Amino acid sequence: MTLKVGDTLPAANLIAGTAEGPKPTTVDEIFKGRKVAFFAVPGAFTPTCSARHLPGYKDLAADLKAKGVDAIVCLSVNDAFVMKAWGENQGVLGEIEMIADPAGDFTKAVDLTMDGSKFGLGLRSQRYSMYVVDGVVKQLNVEAGGEFKVSAADYLLAQL
């Protein structure tokens, strides 16, 4: 499935990186009955992701929530331990849900994979953001390769 506005997100098992450790979760548990500002990154601790992408959502968290967002969710094809450590490092653990897609199952299901092999990363997620209401995609912003514009927090905020 190539994800598009109006689609219901596909089922997938994911793992949240929480202060208490890894917590198995599902797409349904993350999105059902909620308005979610969601963004996906190629990798935790990578330069653009750490310097600009995640910090932008941290900085605009209150503004997003003022627009009716119930949760801010960050996903990466990493393991839950890495997502927890990155959330702690960035000071967002507990404020932004740090979700691991360890085998890329969700990322493959929405057809938003990228091959990061030339950077030593392997299969990863493309950089994108979306606004999801009760599991249905209302806004979708997929970056062109190597760019960081439309998946930024301020861009998504302007769409709400």
Nearest to 76 by CA among 48, 100, 52: 100
Sequence letter at residue 103 = A
- Long-range pairs, 22-29, Cβ under 8 A, ≥24: 22/79, 22/80, 22/81, 22/84, 22/100, 23/80, 25/99, 27/106, 27/135, 28/135
Name the catalytic one among 30, 49, 73, 98: 49
17-54 exposure pattern, b = at least 16 Cβ within 10 A, e = fewer: bbeeebbebebeebbeeebbbbbbbbbbebebbbeebb
Tokens of 62: 């209150």
Is 49 a known active-site residue? yes
Give the residue numbers annotated as catalytic, written as ranges.
49
